[in-house]
Amino acid sequence: MRVLVVLPSVTPSERNPSSLGSRASVEKCLRGLNTQSDSIGGDILYGPGIQFQLAPNQDPVVQMLLEVSDEDIGWLVIERIGKTLKWKFVDINTGNELAFPSN
């Protein structure tokens, strides 16, 4: 199982982006992409082939862990989330950032 850390993307004008957003906004954005918790206020958000782990009681969300449980489905979902929300995904084992091809 591959694990990635999810971070805010850095624009040239930002040195240290503060967060991915408020917990509510992160959950709302991911819910629109078919990824959500199975309980209200849950710290794990499930999506097709993936799951995000949020730090308990962290608001705003500074970073999250992302586990890829199904390689065939998960990568398509991650690419869509990355392009839509402009988040950065870094493999914790290699330190490599995922690059999404532009359309």
What does residue 7 show for φ and ψ, rounded to 5 degrees? -130, 160
* The pLDDT value given to residue 14: 59
Report yes or no on 43 lying in a domain: yes
31, two tokens? 């819910």
The whole-chain average pLDDT of the chain stands at: 88
Residue ranges making up the domain that contains 59: 2-91
Q: Note whether residue 97 is domain-resident.
A: no
| Residue 14 resides in a domain | yes
What is the band of 18 on the pLDDT scale with cuts at 50, 70, 90? confident
In a domain, 86, yes or no: yes
34 has a pLDDT exceeding 90: yes
In a domain, 103, yes or no: no
Element (H, E) at 12: none
